[in-house]
Every structure is written in C-alpha cells, then in structure tokens.
Amino acid sequence: MASPTMLVIRLRTILFLLIVGFLSFSAADDVSRDDDDAPKYANCNNTFDLVKVTYWVDGIESGTITGMTARFGAILPTRADKASRLPAVFTNPLNGCFNSTSKLDQSVALSVRGDCTYTNKAEAAQSRGAVALVIINTEEDLTEMVCSDNDTVSIAIAVVSVTKSGGDTLNKSLAAGKRVELLLYAPKRLPADFSVIFLWMMAVGTVVTASLWSDLVACEQNDEQYNELSKESGTGKNDSEDEIVDITIRSAVFFVLSASVMLLLLYFFMSSWFVWLLVVLFCVGGIEGMHACITGILHRTCRNCWQKTVKVPYLGENSILSLSVLLFCVAFAVWWAVTRQASYSWIGQDVLGICFMISVLQIVRLPNIKVATVLLCCAFIYDIFWVFLSPYIFKQSVMITVARGDKAGGEAIPMLLRFPRFLDPWSGFDMIGFGDIIFPGLLLSFSHRFDKANKKGMASGYFLWLTIGYGVGLLLTYLGLYLMNGYGQPALLYLVPCTLGTAVVLGFFRGELKDLWDGYLGSDSYRLSSPEA
C-alpha cells in the first residue's frame, strides 16, 4: 500500500497535470483571419483584418482603438502615413439605417449596431459623402460584418467595427462638443519576429535544465543513492524514491482522456471566475516550483544555511531560510496575479511557469519507452484533434479558443510561456503551451537517466540527439505557424516524431531498442518499469 506521502504527491501531480496538459500548442495573436463560417459573395469576400483607429481630440492625439474590417468595402492602407485624418460625425439617426441629416462629406461616419443590415448602413453613409463608416458594437467584441445572400453590394468606402467601450470613448468627447478626428489603417503583421528565438530558447532551456536538474543541484550523496537503485524488488528504497511518480500505460491513457474532459469544461463554462480559479492554481504550482528551485540551488551552494529552524503552526519545524524563500515566492506570485494585465506581466508568468515545469519533471517520470510511446502518441492525437479537427464539430478550434480566453473577456489562460513581439505593430505575444514542454521533457529526462545509468557519452547516448530533435521540432512548429499566417499549431505534431521518433530509430540501429523499451538502467539488469505498465 502506498504511503500517505506518496498518495498526496500522486494526487497533487494528477491535479497539476490535468490543469497544464490541455494546453499544448504554439501560436501568435491573430491580426487577420478568414472565417470559413462567415459567408462570402461576389464583392463581399474581404478578409477580416484588425484596424488601428487612432483618434485626436481638439487636435491632440489621445489614443488608439482596435477595430475590424468588414467582408465588404474599400481596403484600408497598411501604413499610417498613407491614411487620411478625418473628422468623426455621428449619423442622424444613430443607427445609420437611413440617409443621415448630419453632414458627412469628407468625414468618418459613426453609427451604432442594429435595426438594419451592415450593408444598409454603409450605403446610407456612402450616399451622404462619408469616406468611411465605423459601426459601434453593443458588446465588448469585434463583430464579423458580412452580407446576406440577397444583398447587391456596391460599397466603395471602408467599413470598420469597434467595441462598445471604444465607441463610448469617442462618444464621450463628441457629446462634450469637442472635435474628434480619426485615422484608420490596417498594418500587417511581420512574417516573423525575433521573439520566437527567445521563446525557442526558453522552451529548450527548460527541458534541458529539468533533465539535468538533479545533477546540477542535488547533493552527491543523494545522487549516489538514486543511481544505486535496489536490485531486489520492494527493498532498499530511499526517501527520494518515494517522491517520484512513475507514469504507467493506464495512467497515460487516463490522463489524456481527462485532459480532454477538462478542455471541454473550460470551453463550455469558461468565465472570469474560472480564469481566477486557474490563476490561483497556477500560482500555487508556481510557488511550489519556485520554492523547490531556489531551495535546491541554495542547498547546493550553502549547506550550512539550513541549520537554524523554527516551529510554524501546521507546517511543523522548518528552516528559517526555507520559510524566507517561501514568503518571497508567495509575494512574487501575488505580485504577478495582481499585475497580470500589465504589459510586463509575461516576465512573472514565465518565471513561475518555468519553475513549475522543472518541479513537475522532477516528480513525474517515464519508466521506459513503452510508456513514453503510449503517452506521446495519445498526446499527439489529442493535440491534432483539439487544434485542427475540433472546428469541424464545434465551429472553432477548442484548444485555441480556450487558450486565448475568447469566452472569458479575452483574458488568456496562464498556463503558457509568452514572449512579446517587440517589432510587431500590433504588439501581442508568441506563446507555447506547457504541454509542449512537459510531454517531450518527460522523454528527454528519461533519456538522460538512461545515458547516465549506462555510462554513455554525449555522442553515444540519447539525450543530446533528443535535445536536438526537440529543438528542430520547435523550429518546424514555428515554420508551420508562419506558413499558416499565425494560426495556432499543434506543436506535438512536430515534436513527437522529432523526439520519440529519434529515440526509436537510434535504439533500433544501435540494437538497444529492447533496453529502452523495458527501461534498462545498467548492467545490474534493473528495470525501471512499473509493475502496472
């Protein structure tokens, strides 16, 4: 029977993996999209492009609102210096369904959504001499403005939708009698941004660091104990072994199925309170991971710093240094949670996320390639289905919708590594899901332990080649991201063949595939396979 400590670790690990596992994709924020569900007709087949609506109040530049173009109408310039700065005027009536009594010549007409079709509003504004039409939505999103099948479209002006809050900002200044001017343009996103290089380095660095962590920070005595695993089943286990959870075939399949259920729950019931729940869970995992990483480094560098202890209610006797580190980690996580909407919040999110993943990869391990094959193949199918195939059932990609927080007011899920696109006119972030690091990381960690136990060198081992394969797989992911104009990619589509495939091919040609399959860790014929596997 498992010890209480082991049961707690197993439950904690399953909980954390269910939370992080459903996010396994790489993406960039979308600037343009071509929604197949939005109807297209002759003269009504434009793509939906994001628009920058820069506004001036009484001649002073006051800000920029984000909008989106319609299926119909003129194409906006891509650069601000090619666009014209024009006065904004509300139509009369405000719904813009009939010829306006307001003077719209050489101006940007403003109207509210509703009461008639978008094309009717555009034709009415165009007939009164407007250069462009901005339609204010009644909700906090950008509506896809399309034509109906019986519309005869002949719109020569640009038509843009903005959110309710954006319209309220313009209305406030106009209602106060101030002069408001607008400049509309739709900048294109750069084909590539150097941010992907840093994201690639973070992902590869996290996997390598997690795999080598025990060598980097563990005490020599513990390393020796770990490598001298018992040759007799059920005897000779040390404390460090009790803190390890070996994945079995059964738990691998169960995990992927549970992750799918979690993903669907998030898709259907995602809300601001659900995001807060995930933020709290992310902070708990981040605090634990950050504390483990910092204390591990301090243990290695200053072993005498842990002698002073103090008794704390519910926590028992702990070293003062460990409690100080814990308080720092809690303060760091709270700071991130409070400022997570700020432009710099990605730094705290990445630090907490990387520490968390390093901690998870120390607790959860693959015993052999057999279990790795089941887990990664299931994750491979899971990733492809929820990114590419789910739109055929749910009308949109479930994975991408959940990750971007489309149903939670646009607040993204925290279980991502992010890096800002500094050269992008739209800013935004490139991102990668935790699953794309943890799943391959489990395999790379196993390969390192296999090499170490069998005393293999860098070239003759597996860890180096799997690390290279992981890096190449990520590069292929970003290539797919580029070729598909920023549409989210199921990264495991590329990572699984480049890592698991590399291990299997190398093992086959070296005649060691059976050892890898059984988890052979040395000449003592010990195998790491769990009995359940």
Contact 48, 34 (CB under 8 A): yes
Query: So what's the pLDDT on residue 16?
Result: 53
Query: So what's the pLDDT on residue 472?
Result: 96
pLDDT in tens, 207-226: 999 999 988 876 543 444 33
Total Cβ atoms within 10 A of residue 105: 10
Query: So what's the pLDDT on residue 13?
Result: 46
- Cis? peptide before 39, omega within 30° of 0: no
Angle at 464 between CA 463 and CA 469, to 5 degrees: 95
Counts for the chain of helices (H) and strands (E), in that order: 17, 15
Which residues form the catalytic set? 383, 436
Residue 310 forms beta bridges with which residues? 318
Mean pLDDT computed over 130-155? 81
Mean pLDDT computed over 251-256? 86
pLDDT category at 502 given cuts 50, 70, 90 is very high
Mean pLDDT computed over 132-149? 84
Q: What residues contact residue 234 under an 8 Å CB cut-off, 6+ apart?
A: none
Whether the full predicted model's pTM is greater than 0.85, yes or no, is: no
